[in-house]
Amino acid sequence: MADFNGTILTNAGRDILTKALAGAKLTFSRIGIGDGVWDNGTNPEQMVALKDEKKSLPIQELSVVGDGTTRLRFVLTNSGLTEGFFVREIGIFALDPDTQEEKLYAVAYAENPDFIPSDGVTKVESVVDIYTVVSTAQSVTAVISDTVVLATKDDIKQHNESTSSHSDIRAKIDTHISQTDAHNIPGQISAAIDNLKSEIGTPVKRYEHTQDTAASLWAVEHNLNSLATPIVRTYQTSTEQIYLDGYCGSGVTCGSGATCGSGTSVDALTLSELSFSKVVLVSKDKLNIEFSSDVSGKAIIMM
């Protein structure tokens, strides 16, 4: 985009702003661009229209900056343009609070303009921000159009970080994690014990041992008070990332698959079975689990 001078309020713009400072609503209606050449005698404050308006563009977004100015965002596009032109002038239009008549509120001019080609030669779509004075007007709005919307990097970043984005995907992930056949380790263990109960028809006692330091011999002191041969399950837990990014076609991406952007993620435990070589009963409340190499993890002992 060419280097434009700062926006200058027209006399009509000053009149509208005065009414807004008195409590009326300040409403921006659209953006106009043109290729009119301003001669040395042009007084921007007295302009009521662009010298040669070529295209009218809707406002995509309005943001009150807080320093007496507001930012208007529009998309400069050559869609439907039959003849290219130099973008020399930009006009901000607003509605008169008393009559609702559209008037030229502020203008900007570029001595060294850019050329926008006709549609079909080269496709042009560019997000442009223009700032103008609103001072301390209490109510500043714009006629917002959603016909052409281009997301900036900042828009995407805010979207990805928002907890309200992709609520359907988040719901799927919550359901996925809570399933006993997915990543819910306690649920899996409880289900296994229930299945064992139904098979042997007797009450089942359960003890869980955590081996933080890798070792080939796990010395387990349990409270099961039994010399019977136990059922032992040994395993390691690892963490996989479930990403809450984009739609990616499939909706939910688990594990190390492709991801969209840099959105938030949650940890989910995965279970990996460890093979031990021997279980030695030491006493009614002690046993050793022997491995072929040093490993760490957990053991579930059931009687």
Higher pLDDT, 25 or 190: 25
Q: What is the pLDDT of residues 106-146, one digit of tens each?
A: 999 998 898 999 988 688 888 889 999 998 888 888 888 76
Mean pLDDT (the chain, rounded): 82
Please say whether the beta carbons of 92 and 33 come within 8 A.
no
How far is Cα 143 from Cα 184, in angstroms, rounded to an integer?
50
| pLDDT of 161 above 70 | no
CB 88 within 8 Å of CB 73: no
Beta bridge partners of 126: 76
Q: What is the signed CA dihedral for 179, 185, 188, 189, rounded to 10 degrees? A: -150
pLDDT in tens, 67-108: 889 999 998 888 888 899 999 999 999 999 999 999 999 999
Full-model pTM:
0.53
pLDDT digits (tens, 9 = 90+) for 253-262: 444 444 444 4
3-state secondary structure of 11: helix
Q: DSSP code of 46?
A: G
Q: What's the mean pLDDT in 248-269?
A: 52
